[in-house]
C-alpha cells in the first residue's frame, strides 16, 4: 500500500475449480480510508456537529461504530452524540472515544429539535433506520440553516444535503429521485469507513496456512440478533481441522449460551468486546460474516469469506456479493453452509 489514502487495488480474480464447481474471489475494488475526505470536510471555523444514532441488542452496534470512524474526520469541530439509553447499547464506546453524549428519551422530532437549538448545531449526521424523509424535512423546516448528512445503505428516500453510502456496493445511480437534486452523493468503495486498526494491520505479515489447523473468523454482528452463531459453530465442529475464532459483544442477548458452548468446545476461542477485531480477522484463513459493513473490512484485508444474510437491510450487499460470485447464503442453512465450507477448504488447499 503506497499510502493510507490510496488504499489497495484488487484487480485479479483468484479462481479454483474442483469437481466442476468454480470458486471465484473477485478482486475489483479499491477501498479508501475516509482520511481522503479531510480536504473536503474540514472548514476554516469550528462547527457544532451532532451525530444521531442508536445501538442496542436489537438494533446492533454497527451504526455507532462506523459513526465513531466518521467523527474522526472532523478534528476541528465540536462533536456530540445524541443517543437513547437502550438495552444492550455501546454508548460507553462513545465516551471512551472522548465525545460527549446527550441522552434522548425518545426518537421524537421535538426532543431532537430542542437539542439542536440548545447546542447551536450547524450540522447533523443521521445514521438511523427509523428517521425518514418526512422527519428530515421537518427538521430542515424547523432549522433552515442546518446541514443534514444521512448515512444510508438501503436506498430509501431522504431529505438531506449530503448522503453517504460507504459500502463497496454503494451506487449513486440508485438514488435518482430519492434525494434533492442538489444533494451531494458519496457512494461506493472510495468512501468506505475503515478504523485505523485495519490500516495498521494491512501490511503486517500473515502466517502461512496450516491445513491441519484452519483458523476461521466468525462474526454475526455485535448483537447477533439472528442468534445463529452457535448453529454456525455446530457446522464447523464437523471439520476436525477448523479452529473458530468468534467475535461478539455484551450486546448479544445470547452471550451466556455462547460462552457455555465455547467453554465446552476447546477449539473455539471467544472474544467479547475486543478492540483487536482487525488483528483477529487478519490472522484468520477465512471468515464467516454477515453481508454488512464488515464486508468492507474483510475485503480490505483480502480475507476469503462466506456471507450469511440475517436481515433485510443487508439485501443490497448480499445481491452485490452474489452477482460477483462470492460465497453467500440468503439465510442460515446448515447443509448449504457445510457445502460452502468444503469449497473454501478445497480452495485453501489449492493455495498451498
For the chain, give every domain's residue range. 8-30+203-351, 34-191
Closest to 226 (Cα-Cα) out of 58, 53, 56? 58
78-99 burial string, b = 16+ CB within 10 Å, else e?
Answer: bbbbbbbeeebbbbebbeeeeb
What does the pLDDT read at residue 203? 81
Kindly report the backbone phi and psi dihedral angles of residue 17, in degrees, each rounded to the nearest multiple of 5, phi listed first. Answer: -130, 125
Mean pLDDT of each 10-residue bin along the chain, 352 residues long: 28 31 41 45 77 94 94 96 96 96 98 98 97 98 98 97 96 97 96 91 85 96 92 98 96 95 98 95 97 95 96 95 96 98 91 60
Other beta carbons less than 10 A from residue 163's beta carbon:
23
Name the catalytic one among 13, 32, 63, 263.
63
Residue 159 Ramachandran class (φ > 0 left, ψ -120 to 50 alpha, else beta): beta
Catalytic residue status for 63: yes
Here the cell at position 93 is: 464506546
What does the pLDDT read at residue 12? 31
* pTM confidence score: 0.83
Here the cell at position 230 is: 452457535
Beta strands in the chain (DSSP E): 8-9, 13-18, 21-26, 30-31, 48-52, 78-84, 100-104, 123-126, 147-151, 162-165, 184-187, 214-219, 242-248, 269-272, 286-289, 305-308, 327-329
Integer Cα distance of 111 and 351 in angstroms: 56
Q: What is the CATH number of domain 8-30+203-351?
A: 3.40.50.2000
Closest to 300 (Cα-Cα) out of 208, 221, 204, 202? 202
Integer Cα distance of 222 and 41 in angstroms: 30
CATH code matching the domain that covers 34-191, chosen among 3.90.1150.10, 3.40.50.11190, 3.40.50.970, 3.40.50.20: 3.40.50.11190
Residues 55 and 86 sit within 8 Å (Cβ to Cβ): yes
What does the pLDDT read at residue 138? 98
Residues 61 and 90 sit within 8 Å (Cβ to Cβ): yes
What does the pLDDT read at residue 30? 53
Amino acid at each position: 500500500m503506497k499510502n493510507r489514502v490510496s488504499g489497495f487495488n484488487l484487480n485479479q480474480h483468484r479462481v479454483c475449480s474442483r469437481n466442476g464447481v468454480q470458486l471465484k474471489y473477485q478482486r475489483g475494488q479499491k477501498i479508501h480510508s475516509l482520511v481522503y475526505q479531510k480536504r473536503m470536510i474540514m472548514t476554516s471555523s469550528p462547527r457544532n456537529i451532532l451525530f444521531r444514532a442508536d445501538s442496542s441488542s436489537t438494533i446492533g452496534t454497527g451504526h455507532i461504530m462506523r459513526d465513531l470512524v466518521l467523527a474522526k474526520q472532523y478534528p476541528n469541530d465540536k462533536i456530540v452524540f445524541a443517543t437513547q439509553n437502550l438495552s444492550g447499547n455501546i454508548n460507553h464506546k462513545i465516551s471512551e472515544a472522548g465525545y460527549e453524549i446527550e441522552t434522548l428519551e425518545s426518537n421524537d422530532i421535538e426532543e431532537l429539535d430542542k437539542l439542536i437549538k440548545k447546542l447551536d448545531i450547524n450540522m447533523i449526521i443521521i445514521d438511523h433506520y427509523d428517521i425518514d424523509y418526512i422527519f428530515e424535512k421537518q427538521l430542515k423546516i424547523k432549522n433552515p440553516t442546518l446541514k443534514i448528512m444521512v448515512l444510508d445503505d438501503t436506498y430509501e428516500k431522504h431529505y438531506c444535503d449530503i448522503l453517504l453510502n460507504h459500502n463497496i456496493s454503494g451506487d449513486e445511480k440508485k438514488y435518482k429521485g430519492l434525494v434533492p437534486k442538489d444533494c451531494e452523493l458519496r457512494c461506493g468503495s472510495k468512501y468506505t469507513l475503515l478504523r485505523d486498526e485495519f490500516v495498521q494491520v494491512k501490511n503486517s505479515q500473515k502466517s502461512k496456512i496450516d491445513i491441519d489447523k484452519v483458523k476461521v473468523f466468525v462474526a454475526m454482528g455485535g448483537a447477533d440478533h439472528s442468534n445463529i452463531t452457535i448453529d454456525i459453530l455446530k457446522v464447523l465442529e464437523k471439520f476436525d481441522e477448523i479452529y473458530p475464532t468468534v467475535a461478539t459483544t455484551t450486546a448479544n442477548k445470547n452471550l451466556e449460551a455462547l460462552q457455555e458452548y465455547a467453554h465446552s468446545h476447546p477449539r473455539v476461542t471467544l472474544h467479547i468486546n475486543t478492540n483487536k477485531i482487525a488483528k483477529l480477522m487478519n490472522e484468520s484463513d477465512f471468515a464467516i460474516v454477515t453481508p454488512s459493513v464488515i464486508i468492507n473490512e474483510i475485503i480490505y484485508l483480502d480475507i476469503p469469506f462466506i456471507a450469511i444474510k440475517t436481515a433485510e437491510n443487508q439485501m443490497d450487499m448480499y445481491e452485490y456479493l452474489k452477482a460477483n460470485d462470492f460465497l453467500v447464503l440468503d439465510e442460515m442453512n446448515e447443509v448449504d453452509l457445510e457445502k460452502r465450507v468444503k469449497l473454501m477448504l478445497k480452495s485453501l488447499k489449492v493455495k498451498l
